[in-house]
Chains A and B, each alone.
Chain A
Amino acid sequence: KNQVEQSPQSLIILEGKNCTLQCNYTVSPFSNLRWYKQDTGRGPVSLTIMTFSENTKSNGRYTATLDADTKQSSLHITASQLSDSASYICVVIPYNTDKLIFGTGTRLQVFP
């Protein structure tokens, strides 16, 4: 069982709509949780970084939330744009280590 699981695996939405991506993790304790956006053929780009004590972090139209009790994080995208079409990867860094544990990602497609 993966230590970081994401859902849904893929998602199709219309431009202008909102969506929420989920990340469930079993890594504990952890130092921080990150969301990355990866465009096709490119490397991942960091969207948000939250420490274990933070509940929410925003970056423009992207808002990440963290519930350490249920070990869940979500990434909410507001007013989606065609350029939001990408894979979104949840990453958890265990406490006191340098290693990143990656989820398998959610593939988002935004259609006009």
Chain B
Amino acid sequence: DQQVKQNSPSLSVQEGRISILNCDYTNSMFDYFLWYKKYPAEGPTFLISISSIKDKNEDGRFTVFLNKSAKHLSLHIVPSQPGDSAVYFCAVRHGSSNTGKLIFGQGTTLQVKP
């Protein structure tokens, strides 16, 4: 049973437009949410995160939105650039966990066309 789902395996957008990547989770006890970016044959790199006490966090072109009632997380990239083409993973942490363990979604492959 997948606790974290990224239902869109892939997304294609034009350079300069907005990219919206989505993530759904099942457990209301998750309290910290992260997005990672991954290029082929490399390790993921941390992008942006949000705590469950907030509903929005912004860092430059990247904004993460959290809708706790819908158990939904989204990442907005504006404007999208060709260098943003990569696989994006959402990850969540359980609030009662003191281990730092994260649960990852399956990933969404973003292609930004010039």
Q: Does chain A bind chain B?
A: no
A-binding residues in B (CB < 8 A)? none
